[in-house]
Structure 1
């Protein structure tokens, strides 16, 4: 539900607006104000989603209320101006009001305005949740946030559940098929990847870290540094060093540095 404040210096006008707004199940009126000073105070304290703001009020009129809120850098709710004079409409949009309704308020015109607000709010809320989801997946997988948002917008899977069972590595005219489960950790060496396997071998792969990371299941591998990926099943412990940095100790005794930007992702491994 959207939290609503009604601001009007005329008691009958406020009562009429409250009666009409009660017909909308998506709205909850949390306060009514009789002047501009009260409106500013309530908006600061209650943080409403929507304000029906009378233009013509003694003292601070509706435009002055909005300008004071903007000057104070207060997060603005949706603003719908309420006025008896149509010529205020242009000024309403000049100060970024979402809409305006004329007194006496007609039910159909009010319905159109409320639907407009709800539609905009739902669109912004959906986008906000998409952004939060994309950030969470990006931290988990190392993928770019923009790529994840693109897949969300196109109804594509956010995380690819189908990862190869093996990595093919070309070397001196030969192609070696390295099972993914045999990989202990990977580190970058210039333009190459060094893939270290459980049998003690190191395979050289000409590919970027980002490309390789996208082929590895994020449930089994974690990026710990811009130049290192580790198989989570080989992690023995996470150590904090004297200089405040972190490193992983693998079951084979190998120490792998953890960069600050990937520290939270590594800690998630220990919380699973």
Structure 2
């Protein structure tokens, strides 16, 4: 039996909330226990911790949907299962795809909505909220912060996506989705959960552009995304073997042990 999930609807358009409400009528285990017309009210509602799921509009006039989640995260609040509802074009939708349970593109399609609800139910049943929270945290770190009146020193901007060029098309691969980077004879392979994408640039050049808070060079041929480490163990001659979220194993070399030890000290 599916768990009962307290659900919050957030959208500044009453008609949009009404349509989500009608579509959810076919899924009684998602019980609507709150509705908010703007980001400010949504933030207050989610701070209560009373909601398991939120259907969250991205574009709103006061706080947008991502800013709501940023403020929850900054306050140390647990993040619910999130479904983004957006009228953004395909490039923006792609940026959300792996950082929430799902996204819905306006105007809402009933069949696509039903597929989305199945994903929500599966996440809830498998108790994957913690994994979701980690993925959302990666998105929130990459999202532009709300404007501030305080004057702060300039900070270095790190590369948050890669452009993959193919004969028929070009597309973005978000850095947060890359499990590890592997040097090849002709460039670098970006290994994600589903595929490996080739880019024509040296690993050394990419390593300098990536945020060292998440990307760690462990070998002259490998840079790993530490957010995707599943487990690791000491290997031969002081080396380490890392198992990544895509199921692949990546080994380090001794010349990078100092950097690896510095990374591991964060968790000592």
TM-score, scaled relative to structure 1: 0.44
Q: Which structure has more RCO (C-alpha within 8 Å, separation ≥ 6)?
A: 2
Larger of the two Rg values belongs to structure: 1
